[in-house]
Structure 1
Amino acid sequence: MGEVRVSPPVSEVHVSLGDEIVVQLPENATTGYLWSVQRVDGALQVTGDAYEAPGQPLPGAGGKRLVRIRPTAVGEASVGLVLKRPWEDHVEDRVSVRVSVGG
């Protein structure tokens, strides 16, 4: 069991059953734009979603959104995330990560 970190522009990852995938996305909460999981296709389970503040607490500095995903079966799957303000319909950015899970 291991941890596999993925950051855009990487859009595909190969892991083993039992690994945990951590999708890292830049996020600046002061803008109101937050990353959230829009869809999960296939045998993936979102196990965590947290904001990591920047190392230096400067006004307006951005941090990272860390979304933890665990595959639950061998095969192909994907997860889609969107960057948007929760009170708006407009999506500022999208990220999709395809996951190939081996035994």
Structure 2
Amino acid sequence: MRVITLEADGAAADVAPGERLELRLPENAGTGYQWVLDGPEPPLRVVEETLHPVADRAGGTGEHRFVLHADAPGETTLVARHARPWAPESELRRFRLTVRVR
């Protein structure tokens, strides 16, 4: 499984059909800000979403992880927004990754 981090913002990734990507984004759940995916559009689909907090540190920064499966050839732009879910205008950051499945 290929791991993608915040440093890949604005980049492109080539994957094969059937391959999985794991998007790992830093998140501090105590602030109310969360990473939310817009979509994704085919050929990608989310197969798992988890939050991994820092051990032994209440309110510490953790990682929001999205595991995506590349179903078939195609291209899409994966977009994640870091915002408070109840207040979309609170967006702090946006992450974009072009994914080409071939």
Q: TM-score, normalised by structure 2?
A: 0.88
Q: Secondary structure at the match of 1:46?
A: strand
List structure 1 segments (4+ residues) > 4 angstroms apart after TM superposition.
none
Structure 2 gap ranges (5+): none
Distance in 1 (alpha carbons) for counterparts of 2:56 and 2:38: 29
How large is the Cα RMSD of the aligned pairs?
Answer: 1.3
Residue aligning to 2:69? 70
Partner AA of 2:2 in structure 1: V
CA distance in 2, matches of 1:34, 1:21: 20
Q: Deviations over 1:24-52 (max 9, x none)?
A: 00000000000011132331111111101
Amino acid at match of 1:22: E
Residue 57 of structure 1 aligns to a residue in which SS?
coil
Match of 1:49 in 2: 49
Q: TM-score by structure 1 length?
A: 0.87
Q: What is the rounded CA distance, in whole Å, between the counterparts of 1:84 and 1:18 in structure 2?
A: 31
Q: Is the 8 A contact 1:6 1:13 kept in 2?
A: no
- Answer whether contact 2:5 2:23 (CA < 8 A) is retained: yes
State the identity as a percent: 24
Q: Secondary structure at the match of 2:76?
A: strand
Consecutive unaligned residues of structure 1, counting only runs of 5 or more, are none
**2:2 matched residue in structure 1:** 4
Q: Equivalent residue of 2:68, what SS?
A: strand
Cα distance in 2 between the residues matched to 1:57 and 1:35: 22
Cα displacement (A) at 1:20: 0.4
